């Protein structure tokens, strides 16, 4: 049964950078005085290869963080140690909110994240997904299921880290029809574009992004425009009622953008940016990710390295932009916290 109020018991599926930062914030709660009304405990943590923890009275998060730091995995010495896998935990533990933080798989069309979320919702529990797969490959089904079970299904972290893209559209644009969304939503490609402007080769740009831990070891999803495609599809599906999948996106790859082209554009007073767009056309919603020349006076031109921006065009509110500056892992983990507040207020 979905519960309407704090306290909320969480099952964390996946415990990478975001999950660990969320745990760190919860452990260090006194550092954030405005969090005083957040009453959350973690009753389970599952990982792909680092084993799991479960304790219905609350997992010892400080110990969990320390153990990963020291051993790279949870160990049987931990009283909360568990052999449960993620799906098993989703099916059996007594949690209020499943927080899906496993890595996105485009090849597997959003699985196993979709199954984790579906399992929680079928049990009438809330689901928060930081994994974009459920929005890009299963949004309509999962949204309908959540509505049927009066369970919450939220996803603020999926686009622009913790910046309240979905929250702003949900809470602050009521009565508007969103006509168009565009933005710069992939940090790695933006970092590489900025590096090439300054004289780097493509490979040097990618290596720089990896050195600064912006890009993953395999950055191909970012560089081929898949990550950006998944994000614009998530926005279009949730906010414009689209039924798109990433394959439907008219998608440029960074392979189409040479350093020469970037520097030639710069010489003419333009920056090349990977611009994601979704718009209404002939009764449906279309989307694209395009290497686009923007003039230096355009707000998109100011988005450097890891920043991001989204612009909404609406019928009543006009054009409104949200920019995220210098995001970090705390910002991203905050996206989960804002979803927890939303659940507490009855937002589903």
Which residues form the interface with a copy of itself (CB under 8 A)? 25, 31-35, 37-38, 162-164, 167-168, 170-177, 296-299, 302, 304, 311, 315-328, 330-331, 334, 337-338, 341
Per the CB < 8 A criterion, the answer to whether 329 and 21 are in contact is yes
State in angstroms the smallest separation of the CB of 48 from a copy of itself.
Answer: 27
219-222-225-227 Cα dihedral, nearest 10 degrees = 130
CB nearer a copy of itself, residue 17 or residue 177: 177
What are residue 288's phi and psi, to 5 degrees? -150, 160
Per the CB < 8 A criterion, the answer to whether 277 and 287 are in contact is yes
Which of 15, 21, 161, 168 is closest to 99 using CA atoms? Answer: 15
State in angstroms the smallest separation of the CB of 203 from a copy of itself.
Answer: 26
CB nearer a copy of itself, residue 253 or residue 314: 314
What are residue 313's phi and psi, to 5 degrees? -115, 125
CB nearer a copy of itself, residue 119 or residue 163: 163
CB nearer a copy of itself, residue 76 or residue 297: 297
Burial degree of 315 (CB within 10 A; 0-12, 13-18, 19+): exposed
CB nearer a copy of itself, residue 150 or residue 319: 319
Residue 165: in which H helix or E strand, if any? helix 165-172
Distance (Å) of CA 125 to CA 2, 149, 342, 348: 5, 8, 15, 11
State in angstroms the smallest separation of the CB of 315 from a copy of itself.
Answer: 6
Whole-number Å distance between alpha carbons of 90 and 44: 9
State in angstroms the smallest separation of the CB of 274 from a copy of itself.
Answer: 19
State in angstroms the smallest separation of the CB of 256 from a copy of itself.
Answer: 26
CB nearer a copy of itself, residue 177 or residue 247: 177
State in angstroms the smallest separation of the CB of 92 from a copy of itself.
Answer: 30
């Amino acid at each position: 049964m979905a519960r309407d109020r704090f306290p909320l018991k969480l099952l964390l599926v996946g415990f990478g950078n975001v999950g660990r930062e969320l745990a760190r914030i919860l452990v260090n709660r006194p550092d954030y005085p405005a969090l005083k009304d957040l009453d959350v405990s973690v009753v389970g943590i599952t990982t792909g290869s680092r084993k799991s923890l479960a304790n219905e009275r609350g997992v010892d998060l400080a110990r969990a963080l320390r153990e990963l730091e020291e051993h790279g995995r949870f160990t049987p010495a931990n009283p909360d140690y568990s052999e449960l896998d993620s799906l098993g935990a989703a099916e059996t533990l007594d949690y209020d909110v499943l927080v899906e933080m496993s890595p996105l798989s485009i090849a597997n069309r959003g699985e196993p994240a979709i199954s984790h979320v579906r399992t929680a919702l079928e049990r009438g529990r809330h689901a928060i997904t930081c994994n974009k797969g459920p929005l890009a490959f299963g949004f309509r089904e999962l949204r309908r299921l959540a509505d049927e079970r009066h369970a919450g299904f939220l996803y603020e972290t999926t686009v622009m880290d913790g910046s309240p893209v979905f929250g702003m559209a949900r809470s602050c644009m009521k009565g508007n029809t969103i006509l168009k969304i565009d933005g710069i939503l992939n940090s790695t490609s933006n970092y590489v574009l900025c590096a090439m402007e300054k004289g780097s080769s493509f490979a040097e740009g990618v290596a720089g992004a990896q050195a600064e831990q912006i890009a993953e070891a395999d950055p191909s999803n970012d560089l081929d425009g898949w990550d950006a495609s998944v994000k614009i599809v998530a926005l279009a599906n949730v906010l414009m009622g689209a039924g798109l999948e990433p394959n439907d996106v008219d998608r440029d790859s960074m392979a189409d953008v040479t350093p020469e082209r970037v520097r030639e554009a710069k010489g003419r007073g333009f920056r090349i940016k990977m611009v994601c767009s979704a718009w209404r056309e002939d009764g449906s919603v279309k989307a694209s990710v395009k290497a686009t020349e923007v003039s230096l006076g355009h707000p998109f031109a100011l988005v450097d390295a890891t920043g991001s921006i989204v612009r909404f065009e609406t019928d009543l509110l006009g054009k409104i932009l949200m920019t995220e500056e210098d995001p970090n892992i705390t910002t991203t983990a905050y996206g989960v916290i804002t979803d927890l507040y939303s659940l507490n207020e009855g937002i589903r």
